[in-house]
Amino acid sequence: QARLVESGGGLVQAGGSLRLSCAAEELIFSMFAMGWFRQTPGKEREFVAAIDWSGDRTHYDDSVKGRFTVSRDNAKNTLYLQMSSLKPEDTAVYYCTADGRGLNTLVAVGTREYDYSGQGTQVSVSS
């Protein structure tokens, strides 16, 4: 059964960096647009970054543009999120998601519709 497994979360001070990974299992990874979303208690899931199947196109939320970089390695079936200049407001559970309908759809509806999503990894940024 296909699944996504996130890793790399942790506790970091403001201004620090983390790299999240998302390993895809039993999934034709290169056929899916992939995205990172995040959620804090009591709030809805929000979009962070996404990348198309080839890695040629990316899209970021304005709140992370210039600080986060999304990438993928189709040979390793793995999605990454390099996070730098972290802020306390970046604290959340981060989820990776997969959508076979493409990047634009993932960005538009990925907070509520997707083909697959992982269990999440906690990122905590202290001030």
Fill in the DSSP letter of residue 14. Answer: T
Are the beta carbons of 33 and 53 closer than 8 angstroms? yes
pLDDT in tens, 99-120: 999 999 999 999 999 999 999 9
In 3-state terms, what secondary structure has residue 27? coil
CA distance 97 to 77: 13
pLDDT digits (tens, 9 = 90+) for 26-68: 999 999 999 999 999 999 999 999 999 999 999 999 999 999 9
